[in-house]
Amino acid sequence: MLTQESQPRVPADAGPQGPGQKVRISRFTPAGLMTVAGAAAGALGLVWVLYERVLPLSGVLGFWLSWYVVFLLFYVAMARIQWDWREVSHRLATVAFVTGGTLAIVIVLGQVVFTLLRGSGVVIHGNFYTQSMAFAGPLSPLTSGGVLHAMVGTVEQIAIATIFSVPLAVATGLFLAEVGGAVARPVRVIVEAMTALPDIIAGLFVYALFILTLGLQKSGLAASIALSVTMIPIIARASEVVLRLVPGTLREAAYALGASQWRTVWNVVLSTARSGLATAVVLGMARGIGETAPVLVVTGVTKEMNFDPLQGPQMSLPLFIYNYAHTEAGRAAYIARGFGAGFALVLVVLLLFTIARMIGGSAPGQLSRRQRRRLGRQAAQG
Amino acid sequence: MAVTGTPAPTPAPVDDDRPRTIVAPVAFGDRVFRGLLRGAGLAVLAMTASILVFLVLQALTAFKAVGIRFFTTPTWFISTHQFGIAAILPLGVVIAVIALIIAVPVGVATALFISEYAPARMRRALISMIDLMAAIPSIIVALFGLYFVMPRILGFDSWLSHHLGFIPVFSFGLQNYASNYASATFIAGVVVSVMVIPILTSLSRQVFSQAPQGEREAAYALGATRWGMIRMVVLPYGRAGVIGASMLGLGRALGETIAVSFILTPVFAFGYHVLESGGNSVTFMIATHLLEAGPTEISALMAAGLVLFAMTLVVNTLAAIIISRSRSGATASAD
């Protein structure tokens, strides 16, 4: 009974508990549920009377905020009648964390749902995917003009940025995980600090380097470089985590067979960590694809299709949103187009994230159960 | 001798499983290999250094023009050389602080909910959802902030200023029109907090879920309730991790550009009345001014960016050190 399994294998209401089954600490009881419901209803009544009728208060959000506070107070009082303080604090914490956590998740999820809802009216028009904004003015209906030029720009920029950043980032991850040494410590600290680099600084850097120092034009290439500056630390950090999960026994086995270090890394470490590395890269791409601030200052805004990342302004999805929902916002059709592009961007990020989950298990560096079993088998018997 | 193909069988497990120290002469190929990897690591260092160098070089003009007054001047008059970050930097910090005041309790509570209270069946889904939300681009948050939060929060702002106006921060000196509440520092802070909450939740949850099972069971065996167990085991175990996560969140909030520029209208005087319309931040100035700027203003913006970069680098490095030193945070990652 004392050794609890970490995963409950039995349904909650499975009869008397035998040895090896999880001891359930808390359980819903009618009394507990009714206390919550009673406190909620009582608080609603009291707050309504005081807030709307007696005190000079007004405002919807303020009402619900007051209601929540009064609800918690009522709940404490009602629980105190039935249980001792220890039980009351436990129950109060449960109610507060469950309601607070659920609310936060709903809000965080709400921003995505909001964008999807507002954008859904635009993305049902086929021309949204097949036209640029070249022939669509502020008064054009949603049945003309689209985001094709921004999609082309986004795809080209993220592709170039990935080509730039992946070799360097994975090599850095390998350096941190496989070589180490005195240099590795500062590199690791800097890589970690750079993962949270303000995205506008990357744009500022590329602006200073390309446009002010080298005298080049604004272009898609400059945006790609700004994106790779933000992506390199993210991918490097994630690949280090993944590479560290490769069992040391595999390396030792390779060494014992007389393999050199680079052979070991090439044939054993990299092939073991392949799916995790792919996850790291895809997550880096998902981060890079939505970066707005870096591309804002180094590629110009355009309505035209531009396939050439080397010259001329090139649009991308985030920049499209920034332009139509903020800079030129005012016309309802423009704002709607901005939300349409937001819809597309959210879908792309969702898609990348799902791909990352499918190839790499639940998190960067966490192997799926099947992979872990396979590794375990390999390590145990070969 | 080179090995190709699948990894070879490992030697039978020995009882004594301390790693052997392997002493081997480093072959030529390995030396090249290590050199290459070290080069990659150094390249990342060089990248960071060159960001600093280029920003410093570009900022020199501005520093030459106004010198130390760059840090004490609140106004932004480029042609008369009266520009500085005395207003825009603290205004940006206030936004980040508001965001953290909201995000830290909410993020920690959500993390505890996911790791301790949510049914085991839902937990995996909740975890992937929060991780996904941490990857949602800030421009989506900005859309949400400008078109959903802003119109709906104005009434609450007015409510705050009416009923809690005796607290200096919430006092409101302008006329009670909706437009005087719009585009305020407080709204920007709320919107940025929506962006920071998933990051903070994700990091804190990783830390909380690593609290040792043995200690949890020990607390239960001593008669603790679940809340008692959380207070005695999970929170002390995760404290350093949460502090580090909050600082990473602070770094994010300080560097947030797009959501802030969607919301704010610029002002150039520091004030703590966060409900009053108008605010500013270094990122906002760069995003809105860089493209139309002349040489001196570009330099001034570079200087402001340099200060911000240095500040976030310090905050993030401290956060990384706190996390890696802590008992819990060694394996938590920022993404």
DSSP letter string, A268-317: IIHHHSHHHHHHHHHHHHHHHHT--HHHHHHS---SS----TTSS----H
The pLDDT value recorded for residue B2 is 44
The reply to whether A131 falls in a domain is no
A100 and A200 in one domain?
A: no
Q: How confident is the model at residue A367 (pLDDT cuts 50, 70, 90)?
A: low
Instruction: Report the C-alpha gap between B284 and B148 in whole angstroms.
Output: 20
Interface test with A, best of B37, B260, B296 (most A CBs within 10 A): B37
In the predicted model, is pLDDT for residue A318 greater than 60? yes
Q: Which of residues 84-103 of B touch A (CB under 8 A)?
A: none
Q: Which chain B residues are Cβ-neighbours of A57 within 8 angstroms?
A: 159, 163
In the predicted model, is pLDDT for residue A9 greater than 60? no
Closest residue in B to A346 (Cα) is: B136
The pLDDT value recorded for residue B334 is 39
The reply to whether A314 falls in a domain is yes
Q: Where are the domains of chain B?
A: 84-331
B9–A contact, CB cutoff 8 A: yes
What's the mean pLDDT in B263-274? 82
**Mean pLDDT value across chain B:** 84
A172 and A104 in one domain?
A: no
The torsion angles phi and psi of A142, rounded to 5 degrees, stand at -70, -10
What's the mean pLDDT in A131-138? 76
What's the mean pLDDT in B165-190? 81
A348 and A288 in one domain?
A: yes
The reply to whether A15 falls in a domain is no
What is Dmax (Cα atoms) for chain B?
A: 82
- From the list A65, A48, A68, A71, the residue with the least C-alpha distance to B155 is A65
A157 CB-contact burial (10 Å; exposed 0-12 / middle 13-18 / buried 19+) = buried
Q: How confident is the model at residue B24 (pLDDT cuts 50, 70, 90)?
A: low
In the predicted model, is pLDDT for residue A7 greater than 60? no
How confident is the model over A159-169, as pLDDT tens digits? 999 999 999 99
DSSP A257: T
The reply to whether A137 falls in a domain is no
Q: Which of residues 197-256 of A touch B (CB under 8 A)?
A: 197-202, 204-205, 207-209, 212-213, 229, 232-234, 236-238, 241, 248-250, 252-256
Whose structure tokens read 């995505």? A112
What's the mean pLDDT in A197-202? 87
A214 and A79 in one domain?
A: no
The pLDDT value recorded for residue A314 is 87
Q: Which of residues 204-223 of B touch A (CB under 8 A)?
A: 213, 217, 220-221
In the predicted model, is pLDDT for residue B242 greater than 50? yes
A344 and A210 in one domain?
A: yes
- From the list A201, A55, A104, A63, the residue with the least C-alpha distance to B306 is A201
The pLDDT value recorded for residue A365 is 45
Closest residue in A to B126 (Cα) is: A105
The pLDDT value recorded for residue B172 is 78
The pLDDT value recorded for residue A374 is 77
The pLDDT value recorded for residue B46 is 93
Whose structure tokens read 């009351």? A88
Secondary structure (DSSP) of A325-347: IIITBTBHHHHHHHHHHHHHHHH
B56–A contact, CB cutoff 8 A: no
A309 and A201 in one domain?
A: yes
Of the two residues A140 and A15, the one the predictor is more confident about is A140
In the predicted model, is pLDDT for residue A284 greater than 60? yes
**Mean pLDDT value across chain A:** 81
Secondary structure (DSSP) of B101-130: HHHHHHHHHHHHIIIIIS-HHHHHHHHHHH
Of the two residues A208 and B20, the one the predictor is more confident about is A208
Secondary structure (DSSP) of B284-328: HHHHHHGGG--HHHHHHHHHHHHHHHHHHHHHHHHHHHHHHHSSS
A364–B contact, CB cutoff 8 A: yes
A161 and A65 in one domain?
A: no
The pLDDT value recorded for residue B327 is 64
Sign of CA pseudo-dihedral A172, A173, A178, A180 = positive
Helix residue ranges per DSSP H, chain A: 30-47, 60-82, 85-123, 127-130, 148-174, 184-195, 199-206, 220-244, 248-256, 261-263, 270-272, 274-289, 293-298, 317-322, 332-360, 369-380
Instruction: Report the C-alpha gap between A317 and A133 in whole angstroms.
Output: 13
Strand (E) or helix (H) holding B82: strand B82-83
A196–B contact, CB cutoff 8 A: yes
For the stretch A191-194, contacts whose Cβ atoms lie closer than 8 Å and that sit 24 or more positions apart, written own/partner, are A191/A233, A191/A236, A191/A237, A191/A240, A191/B44, A192/A233, A192/A237, A192/B316, A192/B317, A192/B320, A192/B334, A193/B313, A193/B316, A193/B317, A193/B320, A194/A232, A194/A233, A194/B44, A194/B48, A194/B316
Show the domain range for A77. 30-109
How confident is the model over B201-230, as pLDDT tens digits? 988 998 888 888 899 999 999 988 888 999
The reply to whether A277 falls in a domain is yes
The closest CB to that of A179, out of B24, B37, B261, belongs to B37
What is Dmax (Cα atoms) for chain A?
A: 85
The closest CB to that of B10, out of A92, A183, A382, belongs to A382
Of the two residues A282 and B164, the one the predictor is more confident about is A282
Structure tokens at B134: 């941490």
Please say which residue of A82, A109, A136 terminates a domain: A109
A58 and A105 in one domain?
A: yes
The pLDDT value recorded for residue A363 is 41
Please say which residue of A78, A109, A140 terminates a domain: A109
**Is A352 within 8 Å of A358 (Cβ atoms)?**
no
The pLDDT value recorded for residue B13 is 56
The pLDDT value recorded for residue A11 is 46
A155 and A52 in one domain?
A: no
The pLDDT value recorded for residue B43 is 92
The reply to whether A373 falls in a domain is yes
The pLDDT value recorded for residue A59 is 67
Interface test with B, best of A7, A25, A235, A260 (most B CBs within 10 A): A260
The reply to whether A170 falls in a domain is yes
Structure tokens at A375: 């590794």
A348 and A253 in one domain?
A: yes
The reply to whether A273 falls in a domain is yes
Q: Which of residues 188-207 of B touch A (CB under 8 A)?
A: 194, 197-198, 201
Looking at the complex, report in whole angstroms how far the Cα of residue A93 sits from the nearest Cα belonging to chain B: 6
Total domains in chain A come to: 2
- The CATH superfamily label for domain B84-331 reads MetI-like (1.10.3720.10)
Please say which residue of A109, A139, A173 terminates a domain: A109
B255–A2 CB contact, under 8 Å: no
How confident is the model over B62-84, as pLDDT tens digits? 888 888 888 888 888 888 888 88
Residues 6+ apart with CB under 8 A from A40: A71
What's the mean pLDDT in A71-84? 86
DSSP B279: B
A154 and A249 in one domain?
A: yes
Q: Model-level pTM?
A: 0.82
The pLDDT value recorded for residue A236 is 93
Looking at the complex, report in whole angstroms how far the Cα of residue A128 sits from the nearest Cα belonging to chain B: 19
- From the list A216, A215, A198, the residue with the least C-alpha distance to A292 is A198
A299 and A214 in one domain?
A: yes
A233–B44 CB contact, under 8 Å: yes
* Radius of gyration of chain A measured on its C-alpha atoms: 28
CA distances B261 to A324, B141, B143, B183, B197, Å, are: 14, 12, 11, 10, 19
What's the mean pLDDT in A290-296? 85
The closest CB to that of A168, out of B40, B50, B302, belongs to B40
- From the list A74, A70, A68, A65, the residue with the least C-alpha distance to A98 is A68
The closest CB to that of B135, out of A252, A258, A287, belongs to A287
